[in-house]
Amino acid sequence: MEKPIPKEEMDIFKTLIAEALHKADPKIQFELMGMYRRGERLSLDIDIAVWHVSYVRADQERIAEDVMELVKNALVAAGLMGSERVFQSGKKKCMFLTRVPQSHAHLLSSDEEGQVATLRALEVRVCPVESVPYFLLANTGDDMLMKVIRKAAKSR
């Protein structure tokens, strides 16, 4: 887990997650956040924001839980999530260890192909549709950007 994740491996995870979520419900949308979204070549972990047209406002707690359950079931079915590697599992956020499934190991760089893929930390957060732009901004920008935005907001 201490080894950074190359962009190419992040691309594999993005494809696998997209396939799993689309299979579960084509109306689920997601975006990888953080370093990947900023276009950096390496990421420290995999952070994704997930939203669904049914979860419009933050006060719709029950819908958020349903979306999270749907997402977790989809990731389990795709071999990306197993109960033995879950650190946190809440109504709107879960965090667990994952790896590129053996069936897709051939997509990894030649350094890792044929080996057991490296474990990676994956964090899923469910976001209401009305908050998606703000959520992505807050979870994409680096620390300096967030400080500038908070300062500007306070001054207004």
The pLDDT value given to residue 82? 86
From CA 8, how far away is CA 51, in angstroms rounded? 24
Q: Dihedral (C-alpha) 62, 58, 93, 134: value to the nearest 10 degrees? A: 160
The pLDDT value given to residue 30? 98
The pLDDT value given to residue 113? 46
What parts of the chain have a pLDDT lower than 50? 113-114
10 Å CB burial of residue 61 (0-12, 13-18, 19+) is exposed
* Alpha carbon distances (Å) from 45 to 65, 98, 101, 120: 23, 10, 17, 6
- Closest to 63 (Cα-Cα) out of 27, 88, 33, 16: 27
- Total number of domains constituting the chain: 1
The pLDDT value given to residue 108? 80
From CA 70, how far away is CA 81, in angstroms rounded? 13
The pLDDT value given to residue 5? 95
The pLDDT value given to residue 117? 75
The pLDDT value given to residue 1? 63
Residue 44 DSSP code: S
What range does the domain containing 42 cover? 5-155
Contact between residue 63 and residue 24 where contact means Cβ atoms under 8 Å apart: no
Residues making up the chain, counted from first to last: 156
Residue 103 DSSP code: G
CATH code for the domain in which residue 30 is found? 3.30.460.10
Amino acid identity of residue 83, one-letter, is S
